[in-house]
């Protein structure tokens, strides 16, 4: 740690980039590629650290950047993705070609959070805020400080309660998840909340992301959730609810009919999967998807009611989902 304090150790420039610096970096990277970032500033004749150059390239100079304001479709997509992925900005950005994680993060913090609150939706949990807490319409700027205070206090309350109940969990999970208060946002159940009973919305959402479509199940980082499993056993003992005997409820509505296992397995490995373990999980997921598709109408109905129970249960107890025996069996 503390290894990259090169900027001030070497009296390197900080702060805003000048057009000259931009030009130097742009010329160098387009001509030679970036290679090892730490050597770029020297080769390009810049008084910056490699990290700063990398950031400047990624966030500003890259030729494939879109720039300009976000379209309503993009904003919607970000909201949907945030409900699933939480504050994993880089993963969200991967679904929006030409947009950077920094840009999306800024948009979220400055604009989308506010919009959601105005609609009575908690930007952290993506659940409806009860009227009493919501306080109706946003009355303008003066309300902002009150909102902020409320947000801060709710975060404080959250952290207070988690201190006692989840201290051990947090020690492990926050480390693995790279997450803080948005921890809940990382569960697939969030996606189910958004589209509890319809394929069509998911399909729309899917098609909105120009380029590569996002597959909820195949791209959800199971390694992340699995890392939690060892810490959730205690929570599991507090519930006597068990999910259906198959694990299909985990995947309901997550595959369109065209997402046959063949289709998926023949495509390029999705982003976020960089190991054979993850890919084998992907193929497991495909099998479950296949099972769902092949069910008869009666079976579907029965399954659907079972699933509804699960849905409501796990909606409010996502931790117990992870701790369920079926979830373990699936791994």
Q: What is the largest CA-CA distance in the chain?
A: 72
d(CA 208, CA 53): 32
Residue 183 interacts with DNA (CB under 7 A): yes or no: no
Taking the least distance from each CB to DNA, the nearer of 73 and 246 is 73
Answer left, alpha or beta for residue 98, where phi above 0 means left and psi between -120 and 50 means alpha: left
Kindly report the CA angle at 17 between 12 and 22, in degrees rounded to 5? Answer: 105
Stretch that binds DNA, among 45-53, 161-169, 207-215, 311-319 (CB under 7 A): 45-53
Residue 42 interacts with DNA (CB under 7 A): yes or no: no
d(CA 143, CA 115): 14
Residue 122 interacts with DNA (CB under 7 A): yes or no: no
Taking the least distance from each CB to DNA, the nearer of 274 and 296 is 274
d(CA 260, CA 204): 18
d(CA 70, CA 99): 9
Residue 91 interacts with DNA (CB under 7 A): yes or no: yes
The residue whose two tokens read 């500033």 is: 41
In the bound complex, what is the minimum distance in angstroms from residue 10's beta carbon to DNA?
12
Taking the least distance from each CB to DNA, the nearer of 7 and 295 is 7
Residue 51 interacts with DNA (CB under 7 A): yes or no: yes
Q: What are the residues facing 121 on neighbouring strands?
A: 128
In the bound complex, what is the minimum distance in angstroms from residue 260's beta carbon to DNA?
29
Of 26, 38, 66, 135, the one binding DNA (CB under 7 A) is 38
- Residue from 166, 163, 261 nearest 217 by CA: 261
d(CA 213, CA 207): 7
- Residue from 331, 327, 329 nearest 236 by CA: 327
Residue 52 interacts with DNA (CB under 7 A): yes or no: yes
Q: State whether residue 43 is helix, strand or coil.
A: helix
Residue 110 interacts with DNA (CB under 7 A): yes or no: yes
The residue whose two tokens read 């931790």 is: 319
Of 24, 28, 50, 251, the one binding DNA (CB under 7 A) is 50
Query: Which of positions 143-162 make contact with DNA (CB under 7 A)?
Result: 144-145
Query: Which of positions 226-265 make contact with DNA (CB under 7 A)?
Result: none
In the bound complex, what is the minimum distance in angstroms from residue 110's beta carbon to DNA?
3
The residue whose two tokens read 């993060």 is: 105
Q: With CB under 7 A as the rule, give the number of residues binding DNA.
A: 53
- CB-hemisphere CA count at 13 Å for 243? 27
Taking the least distance from each CB to DNA, the nearer of 51 and 158 is 51
Of 27, 111, 149, 293, the one binding DNA (CB under 7 A) is 111
Taking the least distance from each CB to DNA, the nearer of 37 and 311 is 37
Residue 106 interacts with DNA (CB under 7 A): yes or no: yes
Taking the least distance from each CB to DNA, the nearer of 163 and 178 is 178
Stretch that binds DNA, among 33-41, 122-130, 208-216, 300-308 (CB under 7 A): 33-41
- Residue from 326, 135, 129 nearest 243 by CA: 326
For residue 117, CA distances in Å to 67, 74, 142 come to: 26, 18, 15
The two tokens of residue 92 are: 């969200």
Of 66, 73, 98, 105, the one binding DNA (CB under 7 A) is 105
Q: Can you give the binding site for DNA, defined by CB under 7 A?
A: 1-5, 7-8, 13-17, 34-39, 48, 50-52, 54-56, 59-60, 69, 87-91, 101-103, 105-107, 109-111, 141-142, 144-145, 175-176, 178-180, 182, 274
């Amino acid at each position: 740690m503390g290894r990259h304090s090169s900027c001030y150790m070497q009296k390197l420039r900080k702060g805003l980039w000048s057009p000259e610096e931009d030009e130097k970096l742009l010329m160098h990277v387009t001509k030679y590629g970036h290679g090892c970032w730490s050597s770029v500033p020297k080769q390009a004749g810049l008084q910056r650290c490699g990290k700063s150059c990398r950031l400047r390239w990624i966030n500003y100079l890259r030729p494939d950047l879109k720039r300009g304001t976000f379209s309503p479709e993009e904003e919607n997509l970000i909201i949907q993705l945030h409900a699933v992925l939480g504050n994993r900005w880089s993963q969200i950005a991967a679904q929006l070609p030409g947009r950077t994680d920094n840009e999306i993060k800024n948009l979220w913090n400055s604009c989308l959070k506010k919009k959601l609150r105005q609609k009575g939706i908690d930007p952290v949990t993506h659940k409806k805020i009860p009227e009493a807490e919501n306080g109706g319409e946003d009355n303008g700027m003066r309300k902002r400080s009150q909102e902020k205070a409320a947000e801060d206090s709710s975060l404080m309350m959250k952290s207070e309660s988690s201190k006692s109940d989840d201290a051990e969990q947090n020690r492990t999970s926050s480390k693995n998840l790279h997450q803080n208060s948005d921890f809940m946002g990382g569960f697939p159940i969030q996606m189910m909340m958004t589209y509890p009973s319809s394929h069509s919305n998911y399909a729309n959402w899917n098609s909105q992301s120009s380029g590569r479509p996002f597959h909820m199940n195949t791209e959800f980082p199971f390694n992340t959730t699995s890392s939690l499993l060892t810490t959730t056993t205690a929570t599991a003992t507090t519930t006597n609810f068990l999910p259906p005997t198959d694990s299909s409820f985990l995947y309901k509505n997550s595959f369109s009919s065209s997402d046959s296992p063949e289709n998926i397995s023949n495509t390029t490995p999705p982003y976020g999967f960089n190991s054979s373990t993850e890919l084998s999980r992907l193929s497991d997921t495909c099998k479950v998807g296949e099972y769902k598709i092949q069910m008869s109408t009666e079976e579907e109905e029965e399954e659907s009611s079972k699933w509804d129970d699960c849905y409501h249960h796990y909606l409010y107890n996502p931790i117990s989902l992870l701790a369920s025996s079926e979830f373990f069996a699936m791994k």
